[in-house]
Each structure stands twice: as structure tokens, then as C-alpha cells.
Amino acid sequence: MNQNSQIHNLLTKWVSNIIDRDHLEKRLLSGEKLRVKFGIDPTAPKIHLGHMVPFLKLKEFQELGHTIILLFWDATAQVGDTSDKDAERPMLTREQTRANCAVFLEKFSKVIDISRVEVYYNSEWLDAVNFAWVGELAKNFSVAEMLDRDNFSKRYKAGMRISLQEFLYPIMQGYDSVAIARKYGSCDLELGGNDQYFNLLAGRTLMHAFNMPKQDIMTFDLLVGTDGKKMSKTSPNCILIDEAPQSMYQKLINVDDGLIEHYFTFATDATLEEVAVIRDRLIAWEHPNILKIELAQRVIMMYHGKPYDANDVSSIESVRFDFEIKNQDENGKNEIALIDEWKISIQISHLLKWLGFCNTSWDVRNALAGNSIRVSGDIITDPKFLVAITPEWTLVEMGKKKAKRVFL
């Protein structure tokens, strides 16, 4: 791919908005090396495929020789950004945010070369602020501008509470670009999701107020969940980047046929040209399952370093057994027998429900009657069969598509 094609891909794939596109494109075509910033809210260490869209773009910038700046919002995380929320968020302690930051860096290393990244924490400058300083920054914004922000507008019209503290978040985040440019050199471009658009504009506003060259900004569309709705860490439609390959594979080959091109576009590092080929194959009525298998293997390779092998038991998801131990079930009978502190036995019928393989007793009976259930390789047909759960994992399978390793 020649330079012009690379830059076209850089400015187009995943991208929703660029300000100022002409300015940014000229700098890239000139061969100038830019300092590209991305801010991270370290409120929870669970990272799904949707979170990785900006990092795939950072990877492209890094491969072209640009400097990547990762800024952890450890100070602003204690306020809580509501850009993509319809309610206030709980505040975190500094210890919680720093612990999360370490987890994030390890996970992001799957996509970008962390050794070549500048890492900063905005507590470095925000911890030193005083009330007069906040007032100086705040005078660059009006209440009307704050309420024009989509999620604030919705909550205000609905009569929901908006704390003044939340109004400070975009101001604090905007100042980050000023602080980095002052202390560590320029801040040429900032990336973010569409939900961060207002906050990124705040950075441009404050850089102008401090007589600095305004950063360009680039925002991204979102990867939807496997059901076509917004991907959420608390929903089954979410695929975490550290999920077991077997779980990733099953979720990806079960995405709706209409989402195949979307997932190749937003969940993989495929170029625009490669995505166009996928589109042509769909138009030519190639069987969707062939494309879904390619999609699943490509994503698994990105985050696990090797393709999924259905015969490799190490790729099967492991779950710690934390079923609530009860003396009796609804019929007054023991459902779990505690053998000793290193071993618990549970009836297969209860275990299948706990694992999520079956929803009802009817499902359990059908699965057992159909010889679909295996424990450590043996077919189980008795609903009262006791499965021994120990610190060493026990493999439980239902058919060819569901399998988990259970351990204490």
C-alpha cells in the first residue's frame, strides 16, 4: 500500500468526524510526524472489542512513525464522565484508578507497542489546581453550551439531576491537551469516540484561549454488540478481548448475517480494500458462515496470537465455581454435597443451569436424553449424576458448541 493509500485508510476507516480534516491531511502528506493523544477513563478494567477501535487506529499511526500519547484520566475518573451515560457515575479512589491503569496497559499491548508509547496521568497537573484556576478555565464555556451536549440536554429536559461537578469534567479533560503541550511538547491530534466529541472540542477551545495551535480531533463510530444493539460490558452482546478463544469463536459465528461487514470493519485491522472484498463476497451470496469463521479466526488471532482450535482444550473458557450452597432444593432434597474443603459434588442438572447451558429442567432432561452432555469426556444421562468440582478443572460439554472448564 503506497503512502497516499495508507493516509486515505488512516483518515477514513472507523472515522466519523475530523476537525480540521484538510489541515490534518496536509500535515500527514507532508511527512510530518505528529503527536497523537488518546485519553482513557480507567473506571473499569474490562475491555471489549468496541473499546479497541481507537487502538486499532493508534496502531496505524504508530506504524507510520507518529508518537502515541496515552493519557490516563486518573484525576477526572474520580469525578466520573457521563458522556455516554444518562445518570451520574460513582467516584473512584486514586488507588482504584491506578490499579485499573496497569491492567489497561497490559491489555492494550495486544494491539500497540507500549514500549514506544508516552504514558501520562492527568493527576500530575490537576491535583495542583485551585478554585481561581478553575474559574479561569470555566469562563471559556457557557451553561448553554454545556446543556447543548446531548446527554445533558436529555437529562435536563427529563428533569433529572445534573451535578455542577459533571460540568467540570469536559473542562478538566480539555485542559489535559494544554498541559501536555506545555510540559511535553505539542499535542497535534486527539482521538476519541463520538461520545467524547464535546470534550475534545473543549480541548481546542482551551488551547486557543492559551494561544496554542489547536489540536485536530478525530472521532469514531461504535462497534455494535452481537445483537446489533450498543455493546455493553454488562450485556451478553459483549465480547471481551481476553475472553477465551472458544467463547469468542461462538459469539462471532453467531452474529447476525447483516453485521458481518460491520464486524470486519470495526473489530479487525482489515483495510478498506479488504472490507470491500468481503462486501463483494456477501453480494455474490457466499455462505455467511464461511465469512463468520474467517471473522472469528481473525479476531482471535489479534488477541490470542493463534487461531481457535476446537480440539485444543486450553482454549475453552474456565469458570470458578461459586454456586450458592444450600442444604435443600425446592423438593427438600440435597442439591450439593460438600465432600471436604477441596471438593464439592453437584448434581449435573443444577450445574448445567448454573453454567448457562440450560434454562429449564425441561432443557436439562432433553440434553441428557439426547446424549449431548459429557463430563470429562464421559456421556452423562442421569440428572442426579454428581459432578466433582475440585481446584483442578473439570470439563463440561453440551453438544459441539458449548464447553466450559469448572474449578474451585
**CA 388, 392, 396: angle at the middle one, nearest 5?**
55
- Note the CATH number of domain 245-312: 1.10.240.10
Q: Position of cell 445534573? A: 162
pLDDT band of 408, cuts 50, 70, 90:
confident
Name the pTM for this structure.
Answer: 0.72
Higher pLDDT, 246 or 381: 381
pLDDT tens, position by position, 75-90: 877 655 444 444 445 5
pLDDT tens, position by position, 181-215: 998 888 999 999 888 888 899 999 999 999 999 99
Span 3-220 CATH architecture: 3-Layer(aba) Sandwich (3.40)
What is the rounded CA–CA span in Å between residue 234 and residue 163? 25
Nearest one of 366, 360, 359, 353 to 396, comparing CA atoms: 353
Q: State the pLDDT at residue 215.
A: 95
% of the chain residues with pLDDT over 70: 88
β partners of residue 340: 343
| pLDDT higher than 60, residue 176 | yes
Mean pLDDT of 154-180: 82
pLDDT band of 91, cuts 50, 70, 90:
low
Question: 299-335: string of b/e by CB count within 10 Å (b at 16+)?
Answer: bbebbbeeebeeeeeebbbeeebebeeeeeeeeeeeb
Return the minimum-mean-pLDDT range out of 13-17, 41-45, 355-359.
41-45
| pLDDT higher than 60, residue 3 | yes
Q: State the pLDDT at residue 335.
A: 53
Higher pLDDT, 152 or 329: 152
Q: State the pLDDT at residue 90.
A: 58
Q: State the pLDDT at residue 87.
A: 46
Which DSSP category does 213 fall into?
P
Helices (H), 64-196: 94-108, 123-126, 131-138, 143-147, 150-157, 164-184
C-alpha 239 chain-centroid distance:
8
β partners of residue 230: 224
What is the rounded CA–CA span in Å between residue 220 and residue 240? 19
Mean pLDDT of 164-183: 86
| pLDDT higher than 80, residue 104 | yes
pLDDT tens, position by position, 56-73: 999 999 999 999 999 998
Mean pLDDT of 388-401: 80
Q: State the pLDDT at residue 86.
A: 47
Cell of 69: 500519547
| pLDDT higher than 90, residue 168 | no
Return the minimum-mean-pLDDT range out of 23-27, 117-121, 146-150, 239-243.
146-150
What kind and span of H or E run contains 68?
A: strand 67-72
| pLDDT higher than 50, residue 332 | no
Q: State the pLDDT at residue 84.
A: 47
What amino acid is encoded at 304 in this protein?
H
What is the rounded CA–CA span in Å between residue 190 and residue 174? 10
Cell of 52: 479497541
What is the rounded CA–CA span in Å between residue 55 and residue 57? 5
Mean pLDDT of 95-119: 90
At the top level of CATH, the class of 318-407 is: alpha beta
Q: State the pLDDT at residue 397.
A: 86
Return the minimum-mean-pLDDT range out of 197-206, 277-286, 377-386, 393-402.
393-402
Residues 6+ apart with CB under 8 A from 322: none
Q: State the pLDDT at residue 179.
A: 93
Q: What is the mean pLDDT of the chain?
A: 84
pLDDT band of 374, cuts 50, 70, 90:
confident
* Domains of the chain, residue spans: 3-220, 245-312, 318-407
What kind and span of H or E run contains 189?
A: strand 189-193
What is the rounded CA–CA span in Å between residue 297 and residue 308? 6
pLDDT band of 130, cuts 50, 70, 90:
confident
Q: State the pLDDT at residue 65.
A: 94
Nearest one of 49, 149, 45 to 104, comparing CA atoms: 45
Q: State the pLDDT at residue 127.
A: 87
Q: Are 394 and 403 in contact (CB under 8 A)?
A: no
The dihedrals phi and psi of 407, each to the nearest 5 degrees, come to -150, 160
Higher pLDDT, 262 or 354: 262
The dihedrals phi and psi of 176, each to the nearest 5 degrees, come to -55, -40
Q: Name the range with the highest mean pLDDT among 98-112, 264-278, 388-402.
A: 264-278
- Cα dihedral 107/108/112/116 (nearest 10): -100
What is the rounded CA–CA span in Å between residue 91 and residue 112? 29
